[in-house]
Amino acid sequence: MRKITYREALREALQEEMRRDPTVFLLGEDIGRHWGGAFKVTDGLAEEFGDERVRDTPISESAIVGTAVGAAITGMRPVAEIMFGDLTALAMDQIANQAAKIRYMFGGQPKCPLVIRTPFGAGVNIASHHSQSLEAWFMHVPGLLVAIPSTPYDAKGLLKTAIRGNNPVLFCEHKLLYPIEGEVPEEEYTISFGTAEVKHEGSDATIVATSYMVKKALDAAKTLDKEGLSVEVVDPRTLTPLDKQTIVRSVKKTGRIVIVSEDCKTAGVSAEIAAVVAEEALDYLDAPIRRLAEPDTPIPFSPPLEQYVIPNEKTIIKAVKEMV
């Protein structure tokens, strides 16, 4: 099967959906022909679909999302790009108060089919305002769906589903994933939300990991395999809805779980997953639930400091070994 990058997979998804449905259009800062997107995801799309449908916006995050809302409730399917996940903070009212609630508070009258794509994640030394992972904020807003693909295959399938769906989606990408290659079929496919994937089977411990941490978990699994420890890596792929069944099934099998997420530990994604496991699989736990996340600090600039705060293969291996 052919291999393409995460970035290319996203681009293909956008392209295919825009060809399929004329109501799909893109807006964001520098996504058009003059730059092609800060991370080059939309590169080439303006050339194919025109500047109206691949629209450069002023630096107005709030209005970017608000415009997407207004367009979505009047028959269009906008895909807005917020350049860095950290900047979603500027648009929080439109995301959490408007997009997420508009259907509910109007008694089901409108649907709001919009997608907000944005990259989270640390590791490229661009410091506190450009390196956060804030998906937990959005997991906490009823009315929003949250997707967090870790591979090119997952990215393409989930983005297509997000665009075709009728709900607002926070599509969480990761800067370090953009250049990563993976197998992606030529044929059309979509991935349903709420379907986690067991990316590596095992029996001694479960690692639930998201986004870039999935790759680290898989690297750890390989190393642990050699040492005779068999770990199962579960990738939720979407946080809302969360595939609790697959996670619980894995815990019942292994009795041990480490949850690895790149956000800050307190009230992060791992906290919610840990609570779910405690509620639904307590009697199968043979050891306390472990969470690996960034410490409760902003992301520092200097390379050794930044590397220190991000969970990595070594810390994952250590956590697993401490549990068995």
**SS3 labels along 97-151:** HHHCCHHHHCCCCCCCCCEEEEEECCCCCCCCCCCCCCHHHHHCCCCCEEECCCC
Alpha carbon distance 257, 186 (integer Å): 36
Which of the following is catalytic: 130, 140, 174, 200? Answer: 130
**Residue 67 lies near another protein (rule: CB under 8 A):** yes
In the complex with another protein, which residue's Cβ is closer, 22 or 185? Answer: 22
Are 33 and 51 spatial neighbours (Cβ–Cβ below 8 Å)? yes
**Residue 71 lies near another protein (rule: CB under 8 A):** yes
What is the pattern of x (binds another protein, CB under 8 A) and - over residues 2-41?
Answer: ---------------------x-x----------------
Alpha carbon distance 291, 8 (integer Å): 32
> In the complex, what is the shortest distance from the CB of residue 167 to another protein, in angstroms, rounded to a whole number?
5
> In the complex, what is the shortest distance from the CB of residue 287 to another protein, in angstroms, rounded to a whole number?
6
> In the complex, what is the shortest distance from the CB of residue 54 to another protein, in angstroms, rounded to a whole number?
12
What one-letter code names the amino acid at 98?
Answer: Q
Tell me, yes or no, if 34 is annotated catalytic. Answer: no
Q: Which residues contact 140 (CB under 8 A, 6 or more apart)?
A: none
Query: Comparing C-alpha atoms, which of 256, 265, 213, 202 is closest to residue 235?
Result: 213
Paired sense of beta strands 145-147 and 169-174, if any:
parallel
Q: Which span (95-103, 146-154, 182-190, 196-204) binds another protein, by CB under 8 A?
A: 95-103
Interface residue with another protein among 3, 19, 48, 97 (CB under 8 A) is 97
Alpha carbon distance 324, 316 (integer Å): 13
**Residue 74 lies near another protein (rule: CB under 8 A):** yes
**Residue 290 lies near another protein (rule: CB under 8 A):** no
Are 101 and 69 spatial neighbours (Cβ–Cβ below 8 Å)? no
Interface residue with another protein among 87, 287, 313, 315 (CB under 8 A) is 287
Tokens representing 102? 């508009």
In the complex with another protein, which residue's Cβ is closer, 62 or 312? Answer: 62
**Residue 188 lies near another protein (rule: CB under 8 A):** no
In the complex with another protein, which residue's Cβ is closer, 25 or 120? Answer: 25
Query: Comparing C-alpha atoms, which of 3, 2, 1, 7 is closest to residue 156?
Result: 7
Interface residue with another protein among 70, 123, 194, 300 (CB under 8 A) is 70
What one-letter code names the amino acid at 166?
Answer: N
In the complex with another protein, which residue's Cβ is closer, 63 or 126? Answer: 63
Paired sense of beta strands 3-5 and 181-183, if any:
antiparallel
In the complex with another protein, which residue's Cβ is closer, 107 or 228? Answer: 107
What is the pattern of x (binds another protein, CB under 8 A) and - over residues 242-281?
Answer: -------------x--------------------------
Give the DSSP letter string of 215-273: HHHHHHHHHHHHTT--EEEEE-SEEES--HHHHHHHHHHHS-EEEEEEEESTTSHHHHH
Q: Is 209 helix (H, G, I), strand (E, B) or coil?
A: strand
Q: Which residue has the tokens 């997991």?
A: 139
List 238's β-bridge partners, or say none: 147
Interface residue with another protein among 132, 167, 206, 210 (CB under 8 A) is 167
> In the complex, what is the shortest distance from the CB of residue 166 to another protein, in angstroms, rounded to a whole number?
4
Alpha carbon distance 271, 28 (integer Å): 32
How many residues bind to another protein according to rule CB under 8 A?
Answer: 53
> In the complex, what is the shortest distance from the CB of residue 298 to another protein, in angstroms, rounded to a whole number?
24
Footprint of another protein (CB under 8 A): 23, 25, 52-53, 55, 57-58, 60, 62-76, 78, 93-94, 97-98, 102-113, 142-143, 145, 165-167, 255, 282-287
